[in-house]
Amino acid sequence: MDFLRPTSWRDALEAKAHHPDATPIAGGTDVMVEINFDHRRPTSLLDLTGIDELASWSEHGGKLRIGAGLPYTRLIDELGDRLPGLAIAARTVGSPQIRNRGTLGGNLASASPAGDGHPPLLASGAEVEVESVRGTRLLPVEEFFTGVKRHALASDELISAVHIAPATGAQQFSKIGTRNAMVIAVCTFAIALHPERQRVGTGLGSAAPTPLRAIEAEEFLSGELADSGQWDSPRPLDDSVVRQFGDLVARAASPIDDVRSTADYRTHALGVMARRTLGWVWDEYRNHPSSTGRPECA
Amino acid sequence: MRLSFTVNGRQCEADDVWEGESLLYVLRERLGLPGSKNACEQGECGSCTVYLDGVPACACLVAAGQAAGREVGTVEGLAEGDGLGAVQESFVEAGAVQCGFCTPGLLVATDDLVNRVPHPSDAEIRESLAGNLCRCTGYEKIMDAVRLAADRRASSEASRSGKTDA
Ligand SMILES: Cc1cc2nc3c(=O)[nH]c(=O)nc-3n(C[C@H](O)[C@H](O)[C@H](O)COP(=O)(O)OP(=O)(O)OC[C@H]3O[C@@H](n4cnc5c(N)ncnc54)[C@H](O)[C@@H]3O)c2cc1C
Ligand code: FES
Ligand code: FES
Protein backbone atom coordinates (compact mmCIF):
# COMPACT_ATOMS: atom_id res chain seq x y z
CA MET A 1 0.00 0.00 0.00
CA ASP A 2 1.21 3.49 -0.82
CA PHE A 3 0.80 6.29 1.63
CA LEU A 4 0.58 9.69 -0.05
CA ARG A 5 0.95 12.67 2.16
CA PRO A 6 0.58 15.95 0.29
CA THR A 7 1.13 19.13 2.28
CA SER A 8 -0.61 21.44 -0.18
CA TRP A 9 -3.99 21.25 -1.86
CA ARG A 10 -2.36 21.50 -5.27
CA ASP A 11 -0.22 18.43 -4.51
CA ALA A 12 -3.28 16.57 -3.25
CA LEU A 13 -5.14 17.20 -6.50
CA GLU A 14 -2.13 16.09 -8.51
CA ALA A 15 -1.77 12.98 -6.42
CA LYS A 16 -5.44 12.15 -6.97
CA ALA A 17 -5.05 12.75 -10.72
CA HIS A 18 -2.07 10.37 -10.86
CA HIS A 19 -3.61 7.81 -8.52
CA PRO A 20 -7.34 7.92 -9.24
CA ASP A 21 -7.88 4.75 -7.21
CA ALA A 22 -6.21 6.20 -4.10
CA THR A 23 -8.55 6.36 -1.10
CA PRO A 24 -8.57 9.78 0.53
CA ILE A 25 -8.37 9.69 4.31
CA ALA A 26 -9.26 12.66 6.50
CA GLY A 27 -10.40 11.90 10.07
CA GLY A 28 -10.29 8.20 9.23
CA THR A 29 -13.44 7.53 11.26
CA ASP A 30 -15.06 5.74 8.33
CA VAL A 31 -11.99 4.61 6.36
CA MET A 32 -10.07 3.06 9.27
CA VAL A 33 -13.05 1.02 10.44
CA GLU A 34 -13.21 -0.51 6.97
CA ILE A 35 -9.47 -1.19 6.87
CA ASN A 36 -9.36 -2.60 10.41
CA PHE A 37 -12.13 -5.04 9.53
CA ASP A 38 -10.68 -5.83 6.12
CA HIS A 39 -13.75 -4.53 4.34
CA ARG A 40 -11.50 -2.35 2.28
CA ARG A 41 -7.87 -2.80 1.15
CA PRO A 42 -6.99 0.39 -0.68
CA THR A 43 -4.02 0.23 -3.03
CA SER A 44 -3.02 3.59 -1.64
CA LEU A 45 -4.13 6.06 0.99
CA LEU A 46 -4.14 9.77 0.27
CA ASP A 47 -3.83 11.50 3.64
CA LEU A 48 -5.48 14.91 3.66
CA THR A 49 -4.61 15.84 7.24
CA GLY A 50 -1.27 17.40 6.28
CA ILE A 51 -3.04 20.17 4.34
CA ASP A 52 -3.69 23.00 6.78
CA GLU A 53 -5.89 25.01 4.43
CA LEU A 54 -8.35 22.10 4.15
CA ALA A 55 -9.02 22.34 7.89
CA SER A 56 -9.83 26.04 7.84
CA TRP A 57 -12.89 28.16 7.06
CA SER A 58 -13.43 31.63 5.72
CA GLU A 59 -16.17 34.06 4.81
CA HIS A 60 -16.75 35.43 1.30
CA GLY A 61 -19.63 37.45 -0.06
CA GLY A 62 -21.91 36.68 2.86
CA LYS A 63 -21.27 32.93 2.70
CA LEU A 64 -19.15 30.66 4.82
CA ARG A 65 -16.69 28.39 3.09
CA ILE A 66 -15.98 25.43 5.34
CA GLY A 67 -12.89 23.43 4.41
CA ALA A 68 -13.69 19.74 3.85
CA GLY A 69 -11.13 18.79 6.53
CA LEU A 70 -12.44 20.94 9.39
CA PRO A 71 -13.21 18.57 12.29
CA TYR A 72 -16.69 18.71 13.83
CA THR A 73 -15.36 19.95 17.18
CA ARG A 74 -13.93 23.06 15.56
CA LEU A 75 -17.01 23.54 13.41
CA ILE A 76 -19.15 23.52 16.58
CA ASP A 77 -16.81 25.82 18.53
CA GLU A 78 -15.99 28.28 15.77
CA LEU A 79 -19.15 28.35 13.66
CA GLY A 80 -21.88 27.06 15.97
CA ASP A 81 -23.36 30.53 16.51
CA ARG A 82 -23.71 31.18 12.79
CA LEU A 83 -24.73 27.68 11.74
CA PRO A 84 -26.91 26.50 14.62
CA GLY A 85 -28.65 23.71 12.68
CA LEU A 86 -25.41 22.18 11.45
CA ALA A 87 -23.89 22.56 14.93
CA ILE A 88 -26.79 20.72 16.59
CA ALA A 89 -26.32 17.89 14.12
CA ALA A 90 -22.54 17.89 14.54
CA ARG A 91 -22.92 17.61 18.33
CA THR A 92 -24.78 14.32 17.84
CA VAL A 93 -21.99 12.73 15.79
CA GLY A 94 -20.36 9.83 17.61
CA SER A 95 -18.41 10.97 20.65
CA PRO A 96 -15.87 13.68 21.49
CA GLN A 97 -13.08 11.50 20.08
CA ILE A 98 -14.99 11.01 16.82
CA ARG A 99 -15.91 14.71 16.56
CA ASN A 100 -12.27 15.69 17.16
CA ARG A 101 -11.29 13.83 13.97
CA GLY A 102 -14.38 13.41 11.79
CA THR A 103 -15.03 15.96 9.05
CA LEU A 104 -17.85 17.20 6.87
CA GLY A 105 -15.84 16.22 3.77
CA GLY A 106 -15.62 12.63 5.01
CA ASN A 107 -19.31 12.62 5.91
CA LEU A 108 -20.25 13.81 2.42
CA ALA A 109 -17.92 11.41 0.59
CA SER A 110 -19.16 8.45 2.65
CA ALA A 111 -22.61 9.49 1.40
CA SER A 112 -24.39 7.35 3.95
CA PRO A 113 -28.16 7.95 3.96
CA ALA A 114 -27.67 8.31 7.74
CA GLY A 115 -24.90 10.95 7.63
CA ASP A 116 -25.87 13.53 10.23
CA GLY A 117 -24.22 16.42 8.44
CA HIS A 118 -26.41 16.09 5.37
CA PRO A 119 -29.92 17.17 6.49
CA PRO A 120 -28.83 20.60 7.81
CA LEU A 121 -26.81 21.21 4.64
CA LEU A 122 -29.94 20.43 2.61
CA ALA A 123 -32.12 22.66 4.77
CA SER A 124 -29.69 25.56 4.29
CA GLY A 125 -29.24 25.09 0.55
CA ALA A 126 -25.50 24.43 0.90
CA GLU A 127 -23.21 23.75 -2.04
CA VAL A 128 -20.34 21.29 -2.25
CA GLU A 129 -17.14 22.55 -3.86
CA VAL A 130 -15.31 19.75 -5.63
CA GLU A 131 -12.01 20.15 -7.35
CA SER A 132 -9.53 18.35 -9.58
CA VAL A 133 -6.55 19.43 -11.63
CA ARG A 134 -9.14 20.05 -14.39
CA GLY A 135 -10.99 22.69 -12.39
CA THR A 136 -13.62 23.39 -9.75
CA ARG A 137 -17.34 22.56 -9.65
CA LEU A 138 -19.94 23.83 -7.21
CA LEU A 139 -22.78 21.34 -6.71
CA PRO A 140 -26.00 21.92 -4.80
CA VAL A 141 -25.78 19.39 -1.98
CA GLU A 142 -28.82 17.44 -3.24
CA GLU A 143 -27.03 16.83 -6.53
CA PHE A 144 -23.98 15.52 -4.72
CA PHE A 145 -25.70 12.32 -3.54
CA THR A 146 -26.47 9.88 -6.33
CA GLY A 147 -27.40 6.72 -4.40
CA VAL A 148 -26.70 4.74 -1.23
CA LYS A 149 -23.04 5.53 -0.48
CA ARG A 150 -22.67 6.97 -3.97
CA HIS A 151 -21.81 10.50 -4.94
CA ALA A 152 -21.05 12.72 -7.89
CA LEU A 153 -17.25 12.85 -7.51
CA ALA A 154 -15.19 11.84 -10.54
CA SER A 155 -12.21 9.62 -9.79
CA ASP A 156 -9.75 12.51 -9.94
CA GLU A 157 -11.84 14.85 -7.80
CA LEU A 158 -11.69 15.72 -4.12
CA ILE A 159 -14.12 17.71 -1.99
CA SER A 160 -12.48 21.00 -1.14
CA ALA A 161 -15.21 22.78 0.83
CA VAL A 162 -18.85 23.36 1.63
CA HIS A 163 -20.41 26.76 0.94
CA ILE A 164 -23.26 27.70 3.23
CA ALA A 165 -24.99 30.92 4.18
CA PRO A 166 -24.99 31.82 7.88
CA ALA A 167 -28.43 31.38 9.48
CA THR A 168 -30.86 34.26 9.04
CA GLY A 169 -33.61 32.56 11.06
CA ALA A 170 -34.13 29.74 13.53
CA GLN A 171 -32.79 26.28 12.69
CA GLN A 172 -33.29 22.89 14.29
CA PHE A 173 -32.18 19.28 13.93
CA SER A 174 -33.70 16.18 15.43
CA LYS A 175 -32.26 12.66 15.50
CA ILE A 176 -33.76 9.40 16.68
CA GLY A 177 -31.50 6.72 18.09
CA THR A 178 -31.17 4.42 21.06
CA ARG A 179 -28.95 6.71 23.12
CA ASN A 180 -27.66 10.26 23.04
CA ALA A 181 -24.12 9.42 21.98
CA MET A 182 -22.61 7.08 19.45
CA VAL A 183 -25.66 6.17 17.42
CA ILE A 184 -26.27 5.83 13.75
CA ALA A 185 -29.54 7.62 13.23
CA VAL A 186 -32.80 5.72 12.90
CA CYS A 187 -33.89 8.86 11.11
CA THR A 188 -33.18 12.59 11.24
CA PHE A 189 -34.87 15.82 10.30
CA ALA A 190 -33.47 19.33 9.84
CA ILE A 191 -35.41 22.56 9.35
CA ALA A 192 -34.21 26.11 8.65
CA LEU A 193 -36.22 29.31 8.36
CA HIS A 194 -35.02 31.77 5.71
CA PRO A 195 -37.06 34.90 6.49
CA GLU A 196 -35.14 37.06 4.00
CA ARG A 197 -36.38 34.80 1.19
CA GLN A 198 -39.62 33.86 2.94
CA ARG A 199 -38.66 30.21 2.56
CA VAL A 200 -38.48 27.15 4.75
CA GLY A 201 -35.74 24.57 4.13
CA THR A 202 -35.85 20.89 5.12
CA GLY A 203 -33.53 17.89 5.12
CA LEU A 204 -34.30 14.24 5.88
CA GLY A 205 -31.79 11.55 6.84
CA SER A 206 -32.15 7.72 6.88
CA ALA A 207 -35.40 8.30 5.05
CA ALA A 208 -34.50 7.20 1.51
CA PRO A 209 -31.46 5.91 -0.45
CA THR A 210 -30.03 9.42 -0.32
CA PRO A 211 -30.51 12.33 2.07
CA LEU A 212 -33.29 14.48 0.63
CA ARG A 213 -35.44 17.59 0.96
CA ALA A 214 -39.20 17.40 1.48
CA ILE A 215 -39.89 19.82 -1.32
CA GLU A 216 -43.70 19.68 -1.18
CA ALA A 217 -43.61 20.33 2.54
CA GLU A 218 -41.28 23.30 1.98
CA GLU A 219 -43.56 24.73 -0.74
CA PHE A 220 -46.67 24.25 1.34
CA LEU A 221 -45.33 25.87 4.49
CA SER A 222 -43.51 28.70 2.73
CA GLY A 223 -46.74 29.45 0.84
CA GLU A 224 -48.93 29.32 3.94
CA LEU A 225 -46.62 31.63 5.87
CA ALA A 226 -46.34 34.12 3.03
CA ASP A 227 -50.09 34.12 2.24
CA SER A 228 -51.02 34.79 5.84
CA GLY A 229 -48.39 37.52 6.28
CA GLN A 230 -46.74 35.51 9.01
CA TRP A 231 -43.14 36.38 8.13
CA ASP A 232 -43.78 40.03 9.03
CA SER A 233 -46.10 39.49 11.97
CA PRO A 234 -45.65 35.93 13.16
CA ARG A 235 -48.50 34.36 15.15
CA PRO A 236 -48.93 30.87 16.59
CA LEU A 237 -49.35 28.37 13.74
CA ASP A 238 -52.68 26.66 13.12
CA ASP A 239 -52.67 23.02 14.12
CA SER A 240 -53.86 22.10 10.66
CA VAL A 241 -50.81 23.76 9.09
CA VAL A 242 -48.43 21.98 11.44
CA ARG A 243 -50.17 18.66 10.81
CA GLN A 244 -50.12 19.10 7.05
CA PHE A 245 -46.41 19.96 7.17
CA GLY A 246 -45.69 16.80 9.17
CA ASP A 247 -47.74 14.68 6.76
CA LEU A 248 -45.94 16.09 3.72
CA VAL A 249 -42.54 15.47 5.31
CA ALA A 250 -43.52 11.88 6.08
CA ARG A 251 -44.80 11.47 2.53
CA ALA A 252 -41.44 12.61 1.08
CA ALA A 253 -39.73 9.64 2.73
CA SER A 254 -39.26 6.21 1.20
CA PRO A 255 -37.42 4.44 4.01
CA ILE A 256 -36.54 0.77 4.37
CA ASP A 257 -36.77 -1.87 7.09
CA ASP A 258 -33.34 -2.64 8.51
CA VAL A 259 -31.63 -3.64 11.76
CA ARG A 260 -32.13 -0.19 13.24
CA SER A 261 -35.81 0.27 12.55
CA THR A 262 -38.77 -0.37 10.28
CA ALA A 263 -39.93 1.74 7.38
CA ASP A 264 -43.28 2.32 9.12
CA TYR A 265 -41.66 3.62 12.27
CA ARG A 266 -39.33 5.88 10.31
CA THR A 267 -42.20 7.39 8.34
CA HIS A 268 -44.19 7.98 11.49
CA ALA A 269 -41.20 9.43 13.36
CA LEU A 270 -40.32 11.82 10.53
CA GLY A 271 -43.80 13.34 10.71
CA VAL A 272 -43.49 13.75 14.48
CA MET A 273 -39.99 15.28 14.23
CA ALA A 274 -41.17 17.66 11.51
CA ARG A 275 -44.08 18.91 13.64
CA ARG A 276 -41.93 19.24 16.74
CA THR A 277 -38.98 21.03 15.18
CA LEU A 278 -41.37 23.34 13.33
CA GLY A 279 -42.87 24.22 16.72
CA TRP A 280 -39.41 24.99 18.10
CA VAL A 281 -38.22 27.15 15.23
CA TRP A 282 -41.52 28.98 14.96
CA ASP A 283 -41.56 29.80 18.68
CA GLU A 284 -38.02 31.10 18.35
CA TYR A 285 -38.95 33.15 15.29
CA ARG A 286 -42.02 34.64 16.98
CA ASN A 287 -39.93 35.69 19.97
CA HIS A 288 -36.97 36.98 17.95
CA PRO A 289 -38.00 37.46 14.32
CA SER A 290 -34.64 39.02 13.49
CA SER A 291 -32.50 36.56 15.43
CA THR A 292 -29.76 34.64 13.74
CA GLY A 293 -31.24 31.46 15.09
CA ARG A 294 -28.86 31.36 17.99
CA PRO A 295 -30.41 29.19 20.72
CA GLU A 296 -31.10 31.43 23.71
CA CYS A 297 -29.83 29.12 26.39
CA ALA A 298 -26.77 27.65 24.67
CA MET B 1 7.53 2.48 5.82
CA ARG B 2 9.50 4.09 8.59
CA LEU B 3 7.48 6.20 10.97
CA SER B 4 8.91 9.01 13.12
CA PHE B 5 6.86 10.85 15.64
CA THR B 6 6.90 12.01 19.24
CA VAL B 7 5.38 9.85 21.95
CA ASN B 8 5.03 11.26 25.44
CA GLY B 9 7.67 13.85 24.62
CA ARG B 10 10.18 11.32 23.28
CA GLN B 11 11.16 11.07 19.63
CA CYS B 12 10.28 7.56 18.37
CA GLU B 13 10.94 5.59 15.22
CA ALA B 14 9.15 2.49 14.07
CA ASP B 15 10.32 0.46 11.08
CA ASP B 16 8.47 -1.78 8.64
CA VAL B 17 5.19 -0.14 9.47
CA TRP B 18 2.39 -1.25 7.14
CA GLU B 19 0.69 1.87 5.78
CA GLY B 20 -2.78 0.63 6.62
CA GLU B 21 -2.11 -0.24 10.24
CA SER B 22 -3.44 1.93 13.02
CA LEU B 23 -1.57 4.16 15.41
CA LEU B 24 -2.88 1.86 18.14
CA TYR B 25 -1.09 -1.11 16.58
CA VAL B 26 2.13 0.88 16.26
CA LEU B 27 2.00 1.95 19.91
CA ARG B 28 1.21 -1.48 21.31
CA GLU B 29 3.02 -3.86 19.00
CA ARG B 30 5.95 -1.86 17.70
CA LEU B 31 6.79 0.56 20.48
CA GLY B 32 5.92 -1.65 23.45
CA LEU B 33 3.42 0.78 24.92
CA PRO B 34 0.49 -1.48 25.79
CA GLY B 35 -1.32 1.06 27.97
CA SER B 36 -3.73 2.03 25.20
CA LYS B 37 -6.12 -0.88 24.86
CA ASN B 38 -7.52 -2.55 21.79
CA ALA B 39 -11.12 -3.59 22.29
CA CYS B 40 -13.28 -2.75 19.29
CA GLU B 41 -11.05 -1.25 16.60
CA GLN B 42 -14.01 0.78 15.39
CA GLY B 43 -14.08 3.91 17.52
CA GLU B 44 -16.93 2.70 19.70
CA CYS B 45 -15.29 1.97 23.05
CA GLY B 46 -12.65 4.66 23.59
CA SER B 47 -10.18 2.31 25.33
CA CYS B 48 -7.54 3.32 22.79
CA THR B 49 -7.94 7.08 23.43
CA VAL B 50 -4.68 9.01 23.07
CA TYR B 51 -3.78 12.64 22.54
CA LEU B 52 -2.90 13.46 18.95
CA ASP B 53 -1.37 16.93 18.82
CA GLY B 54 -3.08 17.61 22.13
CA VAL B 55 -6.55 16.46 21.03
CA PRO B 56 -8.10 13.17 22.24
CA ALA B 57 -8.63 10.69 19.43
CA CYS B 58 -9.21 6.96 19.03
CA ALA B 59 -5.78 5.57 18.13
CA CYS B 60 -7.48 2.68 16.33
CA LEU B 61 -8.88 5.15 13.77
CA VAL B 62 -5.65 7.00 13.03
CA ALA B 63 -3.65 5.52 10.16
CA ALA B 64 -0.04 5.05 11.20
CA GLY B 65 1.23 7.41 8.50
CA GLN B 66 -1.09 10.16 9.73
CA ALA B 67 0.88 10.28 12.97
CA ALA B 68 4.18 11.03 11.20
CA GLY B 69 5.75 14.15 12.65
CA ARG B 70 2.93 14.55 15.17
CA GLU B 71 2.89 14.47 18.94
CA VAL B 72 1.16 11.57 20.56
CA GLY B 73 0.38 11.36 24.27
CA THR B 74 -0.64 8.03 25.78
CA VAL B 75 -1.82 6.97 29.21
CA GLU B 76 1.81 6.09 30.03
CA GLY B 77 2.54 9.81 29.71
CA LEU B 78 0.08 10.67 32.49
CA ALA B 79 2.32 9.10 35.13
CA GLU B 80 4.51 11.37 37.17
CA GLY B 81 7.96 9.78 37.30
CA ASP B 82 7.55 6.29 38.71
CA GLY B 83 4.34 7.25 40.50
CA LEU B 84 0.79 7.85 39.41
CA GLY B 85 -0.36 11.19 38.09
CA ALA B 86 -3.18 13.08 39.80
CA VAL B 87 -5.92 11.81 37.48
CA GLN B 88 -4.72 8.21 37.86
CA GLU B 89 -4.59 8.66 41.63
CA SER B 90 -8.20 9.88 41.64
CA PHE B 91 -9.38 6.76 39.79
CA VAL B 92 -7.64 4.50 42.30
CA GLU B 93 -8.97 6.38 45.31
CA ALA B 94 -12.53 6.52 44.02
CA GLY B 95 -12.53 2.80 43.23
CA ALA B 96 -13.25 3.55 39.58
CA VAL B 97 -11.21 0.61 38.30
CA GLN B 98 -12.47 -2.96 38.19
CA CYS B 99 -11.08 -5.04 35.33
CA GLY B 100 -9.27 -1.90 34.21
CA PHE B 101 -9.61 -2.41 30.48
CA CYS B 102 -11.48 0.85 29.93
CA THR B 103 -9.29 2.79 32.37
CA PRO B 104 -6.47 4.01 30.10
CA GLY B 105 -8.92 5.61 27.68
CA LEU B 106 -10.97 7.10 30.48
CA LEU B 107 -7.84 8.56 32.04
CA VAL B 108 -6.87 10.36 28.85
CA ALA B 109 -10.45 11.61 28.32
CA THR B 110 -10.60 12.78 31.94
CA ASP B 111 -7.21 14.44 31.78
CA ASP B 112 -8.41 16.38 28.74
CA LEU B 113 -11.66 17.39 30.45
CA VAL B 114 -10.06 18.64 33.65
CA ASN B 115 -7.47 20.56 31.64
CA ARG B 116 -10.14 22.27 29.56
CA VAL B 117 -12.98 22.76 32.04
CA PRO B 118 -12.18 23.95 35.57
CA HIS B 119 -15.42 22.89 37.29
CA PRO B 120 -17.23 20.44 35.02
CA SER B 121 -20.90 19.78 35.74
CA ASP B 122 -22.13 16.18 35.84
CA ALA B 123 -23.68 16.73 32.42
CA GLU B 124 -20.33 17.93 31.06
CA ILE B 125 -18.56 14.93 32.57
CA ARG B 126 -21.06 12.50 31.02
CA GLU B 127 -20.79 14.22 27.66
CA SER B 128 -16.98 14.20 27.73
CA LEU B 129 -16.89 10.51 28.56
CA ALA B 130 -19.67 9.51 26.17
CA GLY B 131 -17.12 7.87 23.87
CA ASN B 132 -15.65 5.63 26.59
CA LEU B 133 -17.44 2.42 27.46
CA CYS B 134 -17.03 0.55 30.75
CA ARG B 135 -18.65 -2.85 31.17
CA CYS B 136 -17.83 -3.25 34.87
CA THR B 137 -18.34 -0.25 37.09
CA GLY B 138 -21.72 1.15 36.16
CA TYR B 139 -19.97 4.54 35.83
CA GLU B 140 -20.90 5.94 39.26
CA LYS B 141 -17.40 5.51 40.67
CA ILE B 142 -15.98 6.87 37.44
CA MET B 143 -18.09 9.99 37.92
CA ASP B 144 -16.72 10.23 41.48
CA ALA B 145 -13.17 9.87 40.18
CA VAL B 146 -13.60 12.61 37.60
CA ARG B 147 -15.15 14.98 40.17
CA LEU B 148 -12.21 14.26 42.47
CA ALA B 149 -9.69 14.81 39.69
CA ALA B 150 -11.38 18.08 38.72
CA ASP B 151 -11.43 19.33 42.33
CA ARG B 152 -7.77 18.51 42.73
CA ARG B 153 -6.86 20.19 39.50
CA ALA B 154 -8.80 23.28 40.53
CA SER B 155 -7.19 23.48 43.96
CA SER B 156 -3.70 22.92 42.60
CA GLU B 157 -4.35 25.70 40.07
CA ALA B 158 -5.63 27.91 42.88
CA SER B 159 -2.57 27.30 45.06
CA ARG B 160 -0.28 27.85 42.10
CA SER B 161 -1.88 31.19 41.21
CA GLY B 162 -1.95 32.02 44.94
CA LYS B 163 1.80 31.59 45.02
CA THR B 164 2.37 33.84 42.03
CA ASP B 165 0.15 36.49 43.59
CA ALA B 166 2.09 36.42 46.86
C1 LIG C 1 -17.81 5.31 16.57
C2 LIG C 1 -18.31 6.09 15.39
C3 LIG C 1 -19.46 6.84 15.51
C4 LIG C 1 -19.95 7.55 14.42
N5 LIG C 1 -21.08 8.28 14.58
C6 LIG C 1 -21.57 8.98 13.54
C7 LIG C 1 -22.75 9.75 13.70
O8 LIG C 1 -23.33 9.82 14.79
N9 LIG C 1 -23.21 10.43 12.62
C10 LIG C 1 -22.56 10.39 11.41
O11 LIG C 1 -23.02 11.04 10.48
N12 LIG C 1 -21.44 9.66 11.24
C13 LIG C 1 -20.94 8.96 12.27
N14 LIG C 1 -19.80 8.21 12.09
C15 LIG C 1 -19.18 8.14 10.77
C16 LIG C 1 -18.06 9.16 10.56
O17 LIG C 1 -17.52 9.60 11.76
C18 LIG C 1 -18.53 10.38 9.77
O19 LIG C 1 -19.08 10.00 8.54
C20 LIG C 1 -17.39 11.39 9.54
O21 LIG C 1 -17.92 12.59 9.11
C22 LIG C 1 -16.37 10.89 8.53
O23 LIG C 1 -15.37 11.89 8.41
P24 LIG C 1 -13.82 11.50 8.38
O25 LIG C 1 -13.07 12.75 8.14
O26 LIG C 1 -13.44 10.70 9.54
O27 LIG C 1 -13.82 10.58 7.06
P28 LIG C 1 -12.78 9.48 6.56
O29 LIG C 1 -13.00 8.21 7.25
O30 LIG C 1 -11.41 10.02 6.54
O31 LIG C 1 -13.30 9.37 5.06
C32 LIG C 1 -14.63 8.95 4.77
C33 LIG C 1 -14.81 8.84 3.26
O34 LIG C 1 -14.66 10.09 2.65
C35 LIG C 1 -13.59 10.11 1.73
N36 LIG C 1 -13.04 11.45 1.86
C37 LIG C 1 -12.65 12.08 3.01
N38 LIG C 1 -12.33 13.36 2.76
C39 LIG C 1 -12.50 13.55 1.43
C40 LIG C 1 -12.33 14.69 0.57
N41 LIG C 1 -11.94 15.88 1.03
N42 LIG C 1 -12.62 14.53 -0.74
C43 LIG C 1 -13.03 13.33 -1.23
N44 LIG C 1 -13.22 12.23 -0.45
C45 LIG C 1 -12.96 12.35 0.86
C46 LIG C 1 -12.72 8.95 2.11
O47 LIG C 1 -12.01 8.42 1.02
C48 LIG C 1 -13.77 7.96 2.59
O49 LIG C 1 -14.38 7.30 1.51
C50 LIG C 1 -19.28 7.50 13.17
C51 LIG C 1 -18.09 6.75 13.06
C52 LIG C 1 -17.61 6.05 14.15
C53 LIG C 1 -16.35 5.27 14.02
S1 FES D 1 -10.33 0.14 20.27
FE2 FES D 1 -10.37 2.15 19.51
S3 FES D 1 -12.30 2.83 20.15
FE4 FES D 1 -12.36 0.75 20.73
S1 FES E 1 -13.42 -1.48 34.65
FE2 FES E 1 -13.84 -3.16 33.35
S3 FES E 1 -14.51 -2.18 31.55
FE4 FES E 1 -14.36 -0.55 32.92
pLDDT > 60? residue B45: yes
Query: How confident is the model at residue A298, as a pLDDT?
Result: 38
pLDDT > 90? residue A285: yes
Q: What is the CA radius of gyration of chain A?
A: 19
Q: What is the whole-number distance in angstroms between the Cα of residue A98 and the centre of ligand 3?
A: 21
pLDDT > 90? residue A124: yes
Same domain, B66 and B8: yes
Residue B33 within any structural domain of the chain:
yes
Residue B15 within any structural domain of the chain:
yes
Query: How confident is the model at residue A181, as a pLDDT?
Result: 86
Mean pLDDT score, A113-141: 98
Residue B14 within any structural domain of the chain:
yes
Query: How confident is the model at residue B163, as a pLDDT?
Result: 61
- pLDDT single digits (tens) B132-150: 999 999 999 999 999 999 9
What percentage of chain B has pLDDT greater than the value 70?
A: 98
Residue B44 within any structural domain of the chain:
yes
Mean pLDDT score, B155-160: 86
pLDDT > 60? residue B166: no
- CATH code: domain of residue B15: 3.10.20.30
Query: How confident is the model at residue A83, as a pLDDT?
Result: 98
What percentage of chain A has pLDDT greater than the value 90?
A: 94
Same domain, B12 and B70: yes
Size of interface A-B (CB pairs under 8 A): 91
Same domain, B56 and B93: no
pLDDT > 80? residue B14: yes
Query: How confident is the model at residue B158, as a pLDDT?
Result: 85
Q: What is the whole-number distance in angstroms between the Cα of residue A107 and the centre of ligand 1?
A: 4
Residue B137 Cβ < 6 Å to ligand 3: yes
A3-8 long-range Cβ contacts below 8 angstroms, 24+ apart: A3/A44, A3/A45, A3/A47, A3/B1, A3/B19, A3/B63, A3/B65, A4/A44, A4/A45, A4/A46, A4/A47, A5/A47, A5/A50, A5/B65, A5/B68, A6/A46, A6/A47, A6/A48, A6/A50, A6/A51, A7/A50, A7/A51, A8/A51, A8/A53
ipTM score assigned to the predicted complex: 0.96
Same domain, B45 and B96: no
Residue B99 within any structural domain of the chain:
yes
Residue B165 within any structural domain of the chain:
no
Same domain, B61 and B109: no
- pLDDT single digits (tens) B51-97: 999 999 999 999 999 999 999 999 999 999 999 999 999 999 999 99
Same domain, B69 and B18: yes
Could you say which of B50, B75, B100 is where a domain stops? B75
pLDDT > 80? residue A170: yes
Query: How confident is the model at residue A182, as a pLDDT?
Result: 87
Same domain, B112 and B147: yes
Strand pairing category for A23-25 and B55-58: unpaired
Residue B67 within any structural domain of the chain:
yes
How does residue B110 score in pLDDT terms, banded at 50, 70 and 90?
A: very high
Could you say which of B13, B47, B75 is where a domain stops? B75
Residue B166 within any structural domain of the chain:
no
Could you say which of B56, B75, B94 is where a domain stops? B75
Give A230 to chain B, closest Cα distance, Å: 38
Same domain, B60 and B95: no
Whose alpha carbon is nearest atom 34 of ligand 1? A106
Give B151 to chain A, closest Cα distance, Å: 22
pLDDT > 80? residue A291: no
Query: How confident is the model at residue A295, as a pLDDT?
Result: 47
Count the domains in chain B.
2
User: Which domains does chain A possess?
Assistant: 2-164 (3.30.465.10), 171-287 (3.30.390.50)
Interface contact A96-B109, CB threshold 8 A: yes
Same domain, B70 and B92: no
Domain that holds residue B138: 86-160
Mean pLDDT of chain A: 95
What percentage of chain A has pLDDT greater than the value 70?
A: 97
pLDDT > 90? residue A294: no
Query: How confident is the model at residue A290, as a pLDDT?
Result: 62
Same domain, B55 and B103: no
- CATH code: domain of residue B152: 1.10.150.120
Strand pairing category for A171-176 and A127-132: unpaired
